[in-house]
Amino acid sequence: MKISNKDVFYAFSPMNKHTVEVDCGRKVEIETYDCFSNQLKSQEDNFDALDWNRINPATGPIWVKGAEPGDLLKVHIHEIEIGDKGVVVAGKGMGVLAEELDGIRTKIITITEEGADFGQGRIIPLNKMIGVIGVAPKEEPVNTGTPGRHGGNMDNKMVTEGATLYFPVEAEGALFGIGDAHAIMGDGEIGVSGLEVPAKITLSFDVIKNQSIPMPMLENEESWSVIASEETVDEAIQSGTKAMFHFLKSKLDLKDHETAMLMSLTGNLEICQVVDPLKTVRFVMPKSIMKKRITMGSQVE
Ligand code: CA
Ligand code: ZN
């Protein structure tokens, strides 16, 4: 099944009307714009002429059959296909170096199999990932530039091929949306932009009935992680670490102090991004240390 970028939205909301319905377990290829709605096509395109109402479009909303409030939506990313060009911007007022830079510059970068050609002989290896991915929140709409408990603009470079994400469902059908793919991004996304690219993302959905988690989680071959977004990085460290502690408590037969010790010895707190309205960190625990196969929910897989 293919879903084009014909329908996009700019705020995750339980009031959004879905444009398409999908079945669980079926592969879906979703077309996404880059975060500028593909408006910056050349170095000369004037950044000031950007239509700011078209920033961070998410394709959707997609209604996942069977997803109801109180369930978890499971999203497995099979493949991220990108084109041969990306755009990166940096400048005054943007990100951590906001005051160090004058004016705003755009760079169009050619992408090949070997990587992205930054110029000056610098070929940067790709780490394709998805910036915006999530479901409708419970009540107030959240614009697609902001991350949160519903997902959204988490800018987590672990959201890549082979990853499985879990989101708490708050609205009937989950009202899933996705966009803002990056060919490359470093932890922090300090300049506000990754190497922004349109993409075709192949994924499949599942619903885990009657399970709750306080924030999005991610699983891949090597690890489980929680993704925490708060006003400050410090607060995100607090809520993310506590969420992982409670997750491990519910899954492993360990005493509380041992859980904390194991987290302290083998868990990694990592930064996703520090430039969006809320800041995002992840707490990553290696599967190798868990000594048994952990699954989300109580389902037997
Ligand atoms: Ca982003
Ligand atoms: Zn982006």
Q: Could you tell me the distance, in angstroms and rounded to a whole number, from the CA of residue 131 to the centre of ligand 1?
A: 5
Which stretch of DSSP H or E encloses residue 31?
Answer: strand 28-32
Q: Could you tell me the distance, in angstroms and rounded to a whole number, from the CA of residue 301 to the centre of ligand 1?
A: 33
- Residue 159 and residue 4: Cα distance in Å, rounded? 21
Q: Could you tell me the distance, in angstroms and rounded to a whole number, from the CA of residue 8 to the centre of ligand 2?
A: 15
- pLDDT for the residue 14: 98
Cis previous bond, 57, omega within 30: no
What integer is the mean pLDDT of 247-258? Answer: 96
Q: Could you tell me the distance, in angstroms and rounded to a whole number, from the CA of residue 6 to the centre of ligand 1?
A: 20
- Least Cα distance to 80 among 130, 140, 16 occurs for 130
What integer is the mean pLDDT of 27-42? Answer: 94
Q: Could you tell me the distance, in angstroms and rounded to a whole number, from the CA of residue 40 to the centre of ligand 2?
A: 13
- pLDDT for the residue 291: 87
Q: Could you tell me the distance, in angstroms and rounded to a whole number, from the CA of residue 77 to the centre of ligand 1?
A: 18
- pLDDT for the residue 209: 96
What whole-number percentage of the chain has pLDDT above 90? Answer: 92
Q: Could you tell me the distance, in angstroms and rounded to a whole number, from the CA of residue 121 to the centre of ligand 2?
A: 24
- pLDDT for the residue 231: 98
Q: Could you tell me the distance, in angstroms and rounded to a whole number, from the CA of residue 181 to the centre of ligand 1?
A: 8
Q: Could you tell me the distance, in angstroms and rounded to a whole number, from the CA of residue 22 to the centre of ligand 1?
A: 25
Nearest ligand atom owner, CA of 133: 1
Confidence label for 301 from pLDDT (cuts 50, 70 and 90): very low
Q: Could you tell me the distance, in angstroms and rounded to a whole number, from the CA of residue 31 to the centre of ligand 1?
A: 17
pLDDT digits (tens, 9 = 90+) for 167-224: 999 999 999 999 999 999 999 999 999 999 999 999 999 999 999 999 999 999 999 9
What integer is the mean pLDDT of 64-78? Answer: 98
Look at the alpha carbons of 118, 119, 124, 126 in this order and tell me if their dihedral is positive or negative: positive
Nearest ligand atom owner, CA of 275: 1
Nearest ligand atom owner, CA of 145: 1
In 3-state terms, what secondary structure has residue 199?
Answer: strand
| Cβ atoms 55, 180 nearer than 8 A | no
Nearest ligand atom owner, CA of 198: 2
Nearest ligand atom owner, CA of 272: 1
Confidence label for 298 from pLDDT (cuts 50, 70 and 90): low
* Neighbouring-strand partners of residue 131: none
Q: Could you tell me the distance, in angstroms and rounded to a whole number, from the CA of residue 93 to the centre of ligand 1?
A: 16
Task: Kindly list the structural domains of the chain, giving each domain's residue range(s) and its CATH number in brackets, ordered by start.
Answer: 2-208 (2.60.120.580), 217-289 (3.10.28.20)
- Residue 178 and residue 30: Cα distance in Å, rounded? 8
What integer is the mean pLDDT of 84-97? Answer: 95
- pLDDT for the residue 119: 95
Q: Could you tell me the distance, in angstroms and rounded to a whole number, from the CA of residue 180 to the centre of ligand 2?
A: 5
* Interior/surface letters 231-264, b for 16+ CB within 10 angstroms, e for the rest: eebeebbebbbebbbebbeeebeeeeeebbebbe
Q: Could you tell me the distance, in angstroms and rounded to a whole number, from the CA of residue 289 to the centre of ligand 1?
A: 32
- Residue 202 and residue 67: Cα distance in Å, rounded? 19
What integer is the mean pLDDT of 243-257? Answer: 96
Q: Could you tell me the distance, in angstroms and rounded to a whole number, from the CA of residue 244 to the centre of ligand 1?
A: 24
Q: Could you tell me the distance, in angstroms and rounded to a whole number, from the CA of residue 183 to the centre of ligand 2?
A: 9
Q: What global pTM score does this model have?
A: 0.96
CA 29 to chain CA mean position, Å: 17
Q: Could you tell me the distance, in angstroms and rounded to a whole number, from the CA of residue 110 to the centre of ligand 2?
A: 17
Q: Could you tell me the distance, in angstroms and rounded to a whole number, from the CA of residue 162 to the centre of ligand 1?
A: 20
Name which residue leads in pLDDT, 300 or 268: 268
Confidence label for 299 from pLDDT (cuts 50, 70 and 90): very low
pLDDT digits (tens, 9 = 90+) for 136-170: 999 999 999 999 999 999 999 999 999 999 999 99
Q: Could you tell me the distance, in angstroms and rounded to a whole number, from the CA of residue 35 to the centre of ligand 1?
A: 7
The mean pLDDT of the chain is 95
pLDDT digits (tens, 9 = 90+) for 55-67: 999 999 999 999 9
- pLDDT for the residue 285: 98
Q: Could you tell me the distance, in angstroms and rounded to a whole number, from the CA of residue 250 to the centre of ligand 2?
A: 34
| Cβ atoms 74, 207 nearer than 8 A | yes
